[in-house]
Amino acid sequence: MIARIFLDGALIALAAVVFQFFLREFFEYLKISHYGIFSFFVFGASEEILKFLVVYLAVYKNKFFDEPIDAMMYMVTAALGFAALENIFVVFGNFAGQHLELAEVLGIVTFRFAGATLLHVLSSAIIGYYWAKGLTRETMKLANRRTIFYGFVIASLLHGIFNYSILIFSPILIFPTMLLIIVALFIFWDFEKIKSNY
């Protein structure tokens, strides 16, 4: 189940690339900047929705989805798959035809694998946490859809703010790094809370 969701998460990254291509074209038609906070929020939200759909369709009525904490675990798994393929796209896209020093390559790769991957994991964990909060242990049905909506909003805001802060503060990345560290601490606390409550 874990392997399947990881692969599904990677495959949905392809769908995200295609969807965001048309989304950019639509924004250009409306004369909306690709680099505004609104655009970053929408692009982030689209990725979070796709990752959730992959997990939901995989675990819906599945016997292995039997604990609320599974929502967080499977969302994180899909995020890792998504980030893995996205990182490959970005790395090859950035380095194709360029002659960069090894230190530059390592710096970009390190930030991609640490920063972007952690962003995907944390934003998906947020959705997973609110999904878990809305579940009933007896039926594992989503009893409160409002909670998962909150999760989507918070995760999309995190995604958008992080990407926008990279644009604003680059090459000094202290703010986006600290943002992820602080969110990671809250996510760890949320994970422990879900475990103890169920």
Nearest alpha carbon to residue 82 among 111, 141, 122, 37: 122
Angstrom distance (rounded) from CA 149 to CA 155? 10
pLDDT tens digits along 51-60: 999 999 999 8
68 in Cβ contact with 194 (< 8 Å):
yes
Angstrom distance (rounded) from CA 137 to CA 125? 19
More confident residue, 34 or 78: 78
pLDDT, position 62: 85
Would you give the DSSP letter of residue 32? -
- The one-letter amino acid at 154: I
Residues composing the chain: 198
Percent of the chain with pLDDT over 90: 47
Over residues 30-40, the mean pLDDT reads 83
Q: Rg of the Cα trace of the chain? A: 17
* Residue 171 preceded by cis peptide, ω within 30: yes
More confident residue, 7 or 146: 7
Task: Find the farthest-apart pair of alpha carbons in the chain and give their distance in angstroms, rounded.
Answer: 58
pLDDT, position 160: 92
Token representation of residue 104:
């530059």
pLDDT, position 155: 96
b/e map 33-54, b = 16+ CB within 10 Å: eeeebebbbbbbbbbbbbbbeb
pTM of the model: 0.87
Q: Indicate the average pLDDT of the chain.
A: 85
pLDDT tens digits along 86-143: 888 877 765 555 555 555 556 666 666 778 899 999 999 999 999 998 886 665 666 6
pLDDT, position 77: 97
pLDDT, position 11: 94
